[in-house]
Amino acid sequence: MCPDCSDEIDSMGVGKNLKGFSNRLGTGCKAEEASLGDSGELADLVKTTNMPKLVLNSGKNSKKGWSWYRTPSMEAVEEGKDPSPFEIWRKFVRTTTGHGFARIVDTNEHWQLRVFWAIVVLLLVAGLLISVFIISYESLVVRGLQREFIVQYNNTMYLPDIHICDTSLFSRSALESMGFNKTMGSYLALTLSPMLASRSLRKDMKRRQELEKFYNVLMENRTIHDVYERATLKCENIILGCTHDVTSYNSFQCCQKIFGNRTYVTDLATMCVSTAKQQPLEEIFASQIYGLTVYLKTNTHDRFEFDSTIVTSNVASRRGLLYAVSDPITAVNPIVSAAGHYMAPGKWAGVSISFTRTDNSELQTGILSPYSCVPSGTTSHSHLVPNYDVYSERNCIFASARVVLERKFNCTIFRFRKTHQHVNVTPCCDPDIMIGAYSLNLAQKIKRQSAGCPIDCIVNDYNLYSTPSQLYLGDQDEFFEGHKNGEHVVYSAIHFFYPSFSYTVIKNHPQRLVKWLSDVGSNMSLYLGASFVTLLEFIVLVLRCARFAFQN
């Protein structure tokens, strides 16, 4: 072609450049073998396998008598139009960083194989989208927890609050002085909890009416609070003495210094004494032997025994002690009911304490986090327990149950009497009301009420491991001064200590955005070998197609 067109090319004013260009090629000036010139004047010439050869035009519309044919996409650009969606798609699948797309338009493959790859890629994209949705829901909505375990050590640790409960509750002689026998004393105890009444009493309406009538006669000119103040055991009736480290205290000193005369009546019809403050312990030897030892008076001749026809048998049949430990903000009732340990009279128990702290502080951070926690020492939250003026989740659940009961029966449980002194309009609940409070519907209301209690930001948990054995005390023991060691008096002892001053801190973290990115990226790589660059390529594809649709 070139020998015939050289004169016309020279007449177009590009002869010099084409001659140099042809010399470098060492061949003729075939358009199929042309490349870009050094001067850039041929930079818009594109060589493709499907491009037509150079054609001479001598018509009116010819550009200086000649032109180059372009690919359809280049013609569209030259005319100021965007390429068609099909051309956009072909360019995308050939250049995308995702795997499998290019096989769909590979003309060297049989059409059936291309259909197979199209189905495979479609299924992989669907699987990827489903997995990303599940990961996003679990990470951003459910917000699974990540736990971090840290072991810490201190050479000084504090004992938890220690609660020791006598299952007798009443002094028998004090009850008898007010006219209460074993049956009526047991009926009186039903004011403490709707769970205490025996099954036979719940069904025997006639007996309930007789007991209620006699009870009203006994309570004439008396209040429930007055009866409990006179008849329940005092700290000196429970504590024989105690030792802390190497210092010994008698009954009065131990109640004043260690327990602070903190006494509580519980749902389990027990009288509890609790330590006034957390006593410090220092590790002096490799094996810690010091701690707090409490000597107790159990099963003396003045102890009250419940009537098993009135009080449920699993409470009435117990004889001896319950003990539990807790952090200083948790009330006695929740911890004794949930984690109380029973010990028979006449036993020695070595109680080993292990300490774990759970830190939930980070669970309330983050816009999408469903968690919230209450910092330690908060006093503004509702459902606080009397004598415990700071919030804890256990206290909230316990107090929520009492709120539901008091709203339903319009009366106040004895234990809450002090909280209503400023109102002084709500009467105390009598035993028959508490018997009628036992129902499944009420239990469901209590559950719904307590569901609104947020968790604590810091939770201190104490686990107890006890090794009971028989207790032998000599008649000349220092704690027996003024006490007769006869057959009606049986003593018990409990030794609380830390076997190790190492403890575990558990930090709960919500799943981070980095975790979500990692999970999504790994699934993209698994399904399509794709990355976030591939996502950007898809965005560009969508924008180009949208632009084409808008212009047409």
Q: Among residues 323, 213, 326, 214, which one has the least CA distance to residue 270?
A: 323
What value does the mean pLDDT take over residues 414-429? 56
Of the candidate ranges 166-180, 251-265, 484-498, 513-527, the one whose mean pLDDT is the lowest? 484-498
Question: pLDDT at residue 39 above 90?
Answer: no
**Res 255: pLDDT:** 93
Of the candidate ranges 138-142, 227-231, 276-280, 493-497, the one whose mean pLDDT is the lowest? 138-142
Mean pLDDT of the chain: 78
Question: pLDDT at residue 54 above 70?
Answer: no
Q: pLDDT band at residue 24, thresholds of 50, 70 and 90? A: very low
**pLDDT (tens digit per residue) in 442-470:** 888 888 888 878 888 889 999 999 888 87
Residue pair 369/146 in contact (Cβ under 8 Å)? The answer is no
**pLDDT (tens digit per residue) in 109-138:** 888 888 898 899 899 989 888 988 888 777
Classify 306 as helix, strand or coil.
Answer: coil
CA torsion angle 510 512 515 519 (round to 10): 80
Residue pair 320/198 in contact (Cβ under 8 Å)? The answer is no
- Residue identified by tokens 């632009």 is 547
**Res 162: pLDDT:** 95
Q: Among residues 385, 396, 381, which one has the least CA distance to residue 450?
A: 396
Q: In what order do the strands lie in the sheet with 271-274?
A: 262-265, 271-274, 161-166, 321-326, 341-343
Residue 234 is classified by DSSP as: P
**Res 233: pLDDT:** 92
**pLDDT (tens digit per residue) in 380-401:** 766 667 677 788 888 888 888 8
Q: pLDDT band at residue 547, thresholds of 50, 70 and 90? A: confident
Question: pLDDT at residue 17 above 60?
Answer: no
Kindly state the helix (H) or strand (E) to which residue 433 belongs, with its residue range: helix 431-436
**Res 256: pLDDT:** 92
**Res 453: pLDDT:** 85
Query: Does residue 372 or residue 183 have the better pLDDT?
Result: 183
Please provide the size of the chain in residues.
552
How is residue 483 written in tokens? 């006490």
**pLDDT (tens digit per residue) in 186-198:** 999 999 888 899 9
What value does the mean pLDDT take over residues 348-375? 79
Residue 256 is classified by DSSP as: I
**Res 388: pLDDT:** 76
Question: pLDDT at residue 103 above 50?
Answer: yes
One-letter identity of residue 169: L
**Res 165: pLDDT:** 94
**Res 63: pLDDT:** 43
Question: pLDDT at residue 175 above 90?
Answer: yes
Kindly state the helix (H) or strand (E) to which residue 538 belongs, with its residue range: helix 532-551
How is residue 390 written in tokens? 């700071």
Kindly state the helix (H) or strand (E) to which residue 264 belongs, with its residue range: strand 262-265
